[in-house]
Amino acid sequence: MKLQIAKWGNSLAVRLPVECIRITGLQEGDSVEAEVSPAGEIVLTPARPFDKAAFLDRVRKLRATLPMSEPVVERMRREERY
């Protein structure tokens, strides 16, 4: 969907179509978070209150994808660098 950027005071603004608002459940006065991806894409996400349980779940999943390596302290002890 193509949207037009318009001047709003000293800023630029984009109006969101009603279909987007209905799908996301946003209402007037709600907040969104904007991020720019490395590819230059703008991503808007509805701002929700911080959910500690969901955050910890995401961290656990991310940690499971990281390679296991030797602890730095153990390596230093082995090489007598402490």
Can you tell me the mean pLDDT for 45-66? 89
Number of domains in the chain: 1
CATH number for the domain harbouring residue 62: 2.10.260.10
CA dihedral 42, 48, 49, 50 (to 10 degrees): -50
Structural domain boundaries enclosing 38: 5-78
List strand residue ranges (DSSP E) for the chain, in order.
5-8, 11-14, 32-36, 42-46
For residue 70, what are its two tokens? 């030797």
pLDDT of residue 32: 92
pLDDT of residue 24: 86
Can you tell me the mean pLDDT for 5-25? 92
Q: Do 16 and 2 meet the contact criterion of CB atoms below 8 Å apart?
A: no
